[in-house]
Structure formats: C-alpha cells, structure tokens
Structure 1
Amino acid sequence: MISAEQNDFITRVGPGTPAGALLRRYWQPIALVEELEEKRPVRAVRLMGQDFVLFRDEKGELGLLDRDCPHRGADLAFGRLEDGGLRCPFHGWLFDVKGTCLETPAEPAGSKLCTRIKQSAYPVVEKSGIIFAYIGEGEPPAFPAFDCFVAPDTHVFAFKGLFECNWLQALEVGIDPAHASYLHRFFQDESTEASYGKQFRGASNDSDMPITKVLREFDRPDIAVESADYGLRLTSLRKLSEESTHVRVTNVVFPQAFVIPMSSEMTISQWHVPVDDTHCYWYAIFTSFTGPVNKQQMRDQRLELYELPDYTSRKNKRNNYGYNIDEQLNETYTGMGNDINVHDQWAIESQGPIQDRTREHLGTTDKGIIAYRRLLVSAIEATQAGQPAPMLINADQAAAFSGPPSIDGVSPSDRTATYCKDADRKRREQSSWAAARLTD
C-alpha cells in the first residue's frame, strides 16, 4: 500500500501537478479521425483537465487551440469554419490552425489589435486513425516505428471508449496478466472460427485450444517482468503439460500504453488518456499481420457496446453493467456479458473515481504493476528535476524501434525462452507489410 500523498503524486494530472507535468511531455491521443465529420470538422476536446477545440480547416490542415476565445472567453467549439480558420460567433474574431489572429472585424478600420493577439495552439498529427496532440513545453518526442504506426492504413483500425475513473487504474488492468483467468472467464468455449474482432475468444497461436479454455483451466500463471527500452515486457507462462506451455507476452510502452496480442493475426496498442482526474478514454489501434482489417465489422462490433458521440458504454454503473445472476451462475464469471471491455470497466470503476491505494494489498502476481509504478515515480521525479524520462526520443532513435513483439501461443515447454521471438519472426515473414521490416 502507499500513502494518500503518494497516490495523488502518481494519479493527479491537472496543470501544475507532478504526474501531469510528466504526461504533457508526450504525444497524447485526443480524437479518432472519424470524429471530425466532413460536414463540420470541429470537436471540443478535454485533456488532463484542460479544454481545447480541435478542427480541420478548409485546406484540410488540423489545428488544436485553447477552447476559450482570447477576446472575452466565448466557446470556440461553436465556431464557424470559414475564411481560412475558425471564427468565434461572438464578435467574429478569426484564428488559423497556428493560433494566429487573422481578423478582428468588429474593430475600427485600421486597428492593429489583431497583430497583438495570439491564441495558444498545439501540435497535432494523424496516426493510424487517431489524432495525437502535444500540449507540453518544448519540442515533442518522435513517434517510435512501432507496428501500429507503420502498418498500412488497410491493416489498422482505431476505436476508443470512455471509462469513468482515473487513468492509472485503467492502465494497470492491462499490466495484470493474472486477472484474465477470473475476470474474463467463460464457462463454455465457442467456436474459434467466429472469433474475429473479439479478444480471448480465438485459439492460441500454434494450437487449436481456445484461449478461454487455457485461462479457465490454468489460472496460476508464472509471471516475469523485464525492463525494455520502451518500458516493460511481461511474460506469463501457463504449463499445460510436460510437453507444452502457454506463453503470453505483453508490453507496457511508457508512459501510458500497452501492446498486447488480440489473436494470432492481430495486436492491440492501447493508450489510457486522462480527460481529467476521474475520467479517461482508452484509445486502441488494432494491427493485422495477415489480411486487411474488416473495419466495418470491427466498428459494428464495438458500436454494439459504445454509444456515439462520446463513445460511452451502454453497460455502465447506472445499470449495473448488465449484471445477470443466472449468467454469472452458468455462463460468465462476472455475469456481465461477453465483452471483456465491460468486465474491465466494472473492475476499474468499482475501485472508485480514484482508487484509494492506501487500502490495497499487492500480491506476487502484481509484480508488473509494482514495476510500472516505480518507473512512473522515477520519471515524475526526473521531470521535476529537469532531467530526461523514458521514451523522449528523437527521429533517429525512433527509427530503431520495432514491434514490440506481443504473442499468445503454445510453445514446447523446453523452448519458452525463445518462443515469442521465433513466433513473432514467423508471423512477420508471412506478412505482406511486416516482412519488409525484418533486419536479420
């Protein structure tokens, strides 16, 4: 357990907070590209307790500005897209994507006021269906050449969802390999042929055994945590027999993402992005190593659970996450349906808006969470001292990154140490786009 002061130190992200200062040094997902609708590509964005307006101008360029007009504070999210920028409806002041004031039309002819006005603007970039922003000081880091960023658009799909809790407890569920055997337990195994787009419903790599069966019957994983140049690598072993062992390798990409296997053909790269201290969005990029992603099917599957325009869950604390006692007795461990996002949402939201870590008691299987918290505290303290933190990389360094490898499969028990590397290489050799990235 930790003290209340230590808990605030790692969870609070508003302006001027220690953790907030750290996270502002990194690119943050702020919207899906699809959210900027063609008819009016303007959207309000809240990130780490600050309010912004995101828009695409008539030339197709993206801009992110502070949401309050510097004239008298009116809401620019209701602005008009015209004349090369975003115009405030209150008095007609016009701003371009760089925050330059182009016009103050209500002022007298010849007024120089416009030349003295500058609205705060922030770098934005599109990556694999997600718009990222940098709201920190100085130059932003480069994007690592991870699979999710270099795969062709045909082979990636992006989505998001809202959690009503602090970002850190949302992230930590993905650094906990043991929970899947309980929280995501199914009492019956479905046909793996109908598992497309669904996590924990297919078969493990190099096996015809459903992952649901592995998790249900082998619930004591041996977990190892290693430092990596991008953050942490977690390896979970479940011994199925003397001859075979289930291997699952997941990754924490500092500061707040993880890369995990979804199936033998796809990985998930997922960020947990603070809206404020008590809400966060998860943003995910699904990356296929085989054929193009069926984006419509993936989107339709997720819209069965999430409602637009804010990507809120149809199952939530106001309807008990769809809990059904008969289902809990006979079908799923939680009684909350088949979508594991609902299971995760219940687990992290039930901890409270900000988990009270003064009351927790960590066990052996929490070694990934312990390692991450140490890394987080170290990076926050380095930021306070004006020193470097992990993954603040330049373009040359970014080009050296790949993967990171993430595999769920069944290995011969005497080859578990090399299974991830070997399986990842085999998958890449057979991929139309990833094979070109192999270096040896």
Structure 2
Amino acid sequence: MISAEQNDFLCRVEPGTPAGKLLRRYWQPIALSVDLEGPRPVRPVQLMGQHFVLFRDESGKLGLLDRDCPHRGADLAFGRLEHGGLRCAFHGWLFDAKGSCLETPAEPAQSKLCSRIRQGAYPVVERAGTVFAYIGEGEPPAFPDFDCFVAPESHTFAFKGLFECNWLQALEVGLDPAHASYLHRFFEDEDTSASYGKQFRGASADSDMPITKVLREYDRPEISVEPTEYGMRLTALRKLSDTSTHVRVTNMVFPQAFVIPMSAEMTISQWHVPVDDTHCYWYAIFTSFTGPVDKQQMREQRLKLYELPDYTSRKNKSNNYGFSVDEQLTETYTGMGEDINVHDQWAIESQGPIQDRTREHLGSTDKGIIAYRRMLVKAIESTRAGESAPMLIDDAQARTLTGPPSIDGIGATADTDGYWQSADRERRLKSDWASARLAA
C-alpha cells in the first residue's frame, strides 16, 4: 500500500512531472508505419500530454513537429504536404522535418522573418513497422540489439491498441504472471494447430499440451524475479509432475516494455505508452523465429476487434466489454470473448483512470510489481538528481544486449533454468536469421 502522493509520483507523466521527465529520456513508440500509408501521410500524435504532428514528406523522410504553428497557433495536423515540408493551412508557413521554416509567403519578399522562425522538432526512427520518437533533452539512447529490432522486416508484425487508463496499471499486468490462470482461462481447449496469431491458444513448446490446459489446471505458479542488464527477468514455474514443469520466462525492459512468449515460434515485445495521465497505447512487435509473419492474417485478425483510426477496442466499457453470462458459465472465465487484450483492458480500466493504490493489498505473487516500482522510484530520483538511469545506453552497450530469452514450454523439473536456456538456444539455432547472429 502506498500514499496518494507516492501514487502520483509514479503515475503522472505530463510535462513537469518527475516520472514524465524520466520517460522522456527514452525512445517511445508513437505510430505504426502503416498509419502513414495512403495519399496523405500526416497524423496527429499525443504523447505524455504533449501534442505533435507526425508526417512523411515527399522524399519519404519522417518529421515530428509541435502541433501548434508558431505563427498564430493553428493546427498543423491539418496542414498540406508540399514543397519539401508541411505547410500550415492558415497562412501558408512551410516547415521541414527538422523544424526549419522554409517559407512565410504572406510576408514581403525581402522579409527575414523566415530565417528567425523554428518549430519544435524531434528525432524519429522506424523500427519493425513502428515509428519511435524521442522528445527528451540531449542525445537519445541507442536501440539494443533485441530480437524485435534485428529480425528481418518480413519476420516482424506491429500492432497497437488504446486503453482508457494510466500507463502504469497497464504495464503492471505484464509483471504479474499469476493472473493468466484466471483472467485468461478457457474452459475448453481448441485445436492448437489453428492457433496462429492467437496468444494463449497454442501448445507449450516441447509438448503437445495446450497452454490453456496448463493455466486452467495449474493455477499456483512459483514466481521468481531476477535483475538483469535491461531490467528484470520473471520466471513462472507450474509443476505438472515430479518429472516435468511448465516454464514461462518473461522480461521487463526498462522503463516500460516487456518481452513475452506468444507461441513456440513467436515472441511479443510490448510497450505501454502514455497518451496522457489517463490514456495509453500498447504497441506490440511480434517476432517470428521460423518463417515470415503472415502480416495480412495477423492484421485482419486484430481489425475484427479494433477500430481505426485510433485503434479503439470494439469491446469496451460502453458495451461491458462484450460480457456474456452464458459464455462465462461455459467458455471463458471472464465471459468477454477470446481476445486476451480485452480481458486485460477490462482488468486495468476497471481499476479507474488512475488506480488508487492506497487501497491495494499486494501478495507474494506481486513480487515483480514490487521490484519494478522500486526500480522506477530509484530511476525517477536519479533523473531528478541529474544522474543516469537503466537502459540509457550507447552503441557499444546496445550491441551486447540481445534476446532477451522469452520461453513458454515444458521441461524437466530437476533443471528448469537449464531448460529455458537450452530451449532458447535451440530455437535460435533453427532460425535462419537468429542462427546467423549466433555464428557472428
């Protein structure tokens, strides 16, 4: 249990807040590359309470600018893409991707005003179908050589979804391995061969046992938390017999991402990115160790559940998340359909726009959440003191950070650590792109 002041210290990220200053030191996902397809690649973006406009100019270069025009404050998200930049529709002032003012057409021909105007501009990069932005001070950190960033583009797929709640309670779901046995419980096991693109519907690695059966019948995992260079590793063990144990290894990548297994062939790297203090997006990069990802199937599956352009869930608080009494009695524990993101959405949105942690009572299974909050507090305090924080890495450090291993499988009870390490290596050795990296 923490105080209201401590809760605000951790949760609030808008300009001027301690946690907001910390998160601004890192790259943040702000859009999917597919969002910038079509005849007009311009999109408004809100990140940690600040408003921007993202665009791709005629040459293909990305730009991220403050959304209000420095002339009279009009909305640049309605601007026109032309002549190498984004032109304000109010008076025609033109800005390039670096924020330089290229033209002020209503001014006299001899005017020097244009040379003195500069719009706020921020670094943006594309990785694995996702646009990342850096809105902090100084130089941004390097991207680590994690699987999602080094796999071929053909072997990754990106998607996102909107949650109407604070980013921290959304992130903490990924630090809680115990919840899956209830929140994501299915009463019947499907054909695991038809589970492509669906989380918690396939078979655990090195077995033919559906993960749904594991979660349903073994609901008291033994959870351990281990600090790592990138954040922390969480291991959840569900003992099936004296000789076999289900092993699930997930990772928290500081400050607000986690890497988890989706299936024997795929992992998910997921960020929880604050729009403001009471809304956040989850961004997920799915990475395949076998063949190329069927991007069309993956996107079509998800667009049945999410509406464009804002990627809002079709099942939400306005329709009780699709809750069905009959389904809850016979099919799923929640009665809210098969998509686990909807389950998560209900769980975290039902805590309120910002969870009141003065009323919570943590248990032993919450050790990952407790460890993360301590890490977060320490990093916020370090930032306030002008010191470093985890994962503020340079290029040399970034090359040493690989993986991280993320496994869901069944191994020998006598050596669970050895199992997940060997399972990770074996999967990489069988992968064209990952095995090449091992050889290097």
Opposite residue 55 of structure 1, the aligned amino acid is: F
Q: CA deviation at 1:185?
A: 0.3
Matches of 1:215 and 1:58 in 2, distance apart?
Answer: 50
Matches of 2:147 and 2:335 in 1, distance apart?
Answer: 35
Matches of 1:279 and 1:417 in 2, distance apart?
Answer: 38
Matches of 2:314 and 2:12 in 1, distance apart?
Answer: 27
1:356 alignment counterpart: 356
Opposite residue 387 of structure 1, the aligned amino acid is: E
Opposite residue 346 of structure 1, the aligned amino acid is: W
2:56 alignment counterpart: 56
Matches of 1:58 and 1:388 in 2, distance apart?
Answer: 39
> Is residue 2:317 matched to residue 1:314?
no
The 5 A counterparts of 1:20-31 are: 20-31=20-31
Matches of 1:415 and 1:300 in 2, distance apart?
Answer: 40
Q: CA deviation at 1:420?
A: 1.2
Matches of 1:117 and 1:38 in 2, distance apart?
Answer: 30
Opposite residue 268 of structure 1, the aligned amino acid is: I
Opposite residue 281 of structure 1, the aligned amino acid is: Y
Q: CA deviation at 1:320?
A: 0.1
Q: Residue 249 of structure 1: SS of its match in structure 2? A: strand
Q: CA deviation at 1:38?
A: 2.8
> Is residue 2:245 matched to residue 1:249?
no
> Is residue 2:22 matched to residue 1:11?
no
Q: CA deviation at 1:109?
A: 1.5
2:86 alignment counterpart: 86
2:114 alignment counterpart: 114
Q: Residue 402 of structure 2: SS of its match in structure 1? A: coil
2:131 alignment counterpart: 131
> Is residue 2:276 matched to residue 1:276?
yes
Matches of 2:61 and 2:211 in 1, distance apart?
Answer: 44
Deviations 1:396-427 (A, max 9, x none): 11011110000000001112021111000000
Q: CA deviation at 1:37?
A: 2.2
The 5 A counterparts of 1:179-328 are: 179-328=179-328
Q: CA deviation at 1:14?
A: 0.4
Q: CA deviation at 1:437?
A: 1.5
2:339 alignment counterpart: 339
Deviations 1:201-222 (A, max 9, x none): 0000000000000000000000
Q: Residue 432 of structure 2: SS of its match in structure 1? A: coil
Q: Residue 225 of structure 2: SS of its match in structure 1? A: strand
Deviations 1:129-180 (A, max 9, x none): 0000000000000000000000001100000000000000000001000000
> Is residue 2:173 matched to residue 1:155?
no
Opposite residue 165 of structure 2, the aligned amino acid is: C
Moved over 4 A (4+): none
Matches of 1:420 and 1:84 in 2, distance apart?
Answer: 51
Matches of 1:171 and 1:346 in 2, distance apart?
Answer: 14
TM-score (structure 1 length as normaliser):
0.99
Q: Residue 334 of structure 1: SS of its match in structure 2? A: coil
Matches of 2:338 and 2:415 in 1, distance apart?
Answer: 33
Deviates more, 1:19-28 or 1:409-418: 409-418
The 5 A counterparts of 1:165-176 are: 165-176=165-176
Q: Percent identity?
A: 80
Matches of 1:439 and 1:355 in 2, distance apart?
Answer: 47
Alignment gaps of 5+ in structure 2: none
Q: CA deviation at 1:439?
A: 5.5
Matches of 2:253 and 2:66 in 1, distance apart?
Answer: 28
Q: Residue 299 of structure 2: SS of its match in structure 1? A: helix
Opposite residue 404 of structure 1, the aligned amino acid is: P
Q: Provide the alpha-carbon RMSD of the alignment.
A: 0.7
Matches of 2:177 and 2:411 in 1, distance apart?
Answer: 18
Query: How many correspondences in the alignment?
Result: 440
Matches of 2:323 and 2:253 in 1, distance apart?
Answer: 33
TM-score (structure 2 length as normaliser):
0.99
Deviations 1:311-353 (A, max 9, x none): 0000000000000001101110000011111000000000000
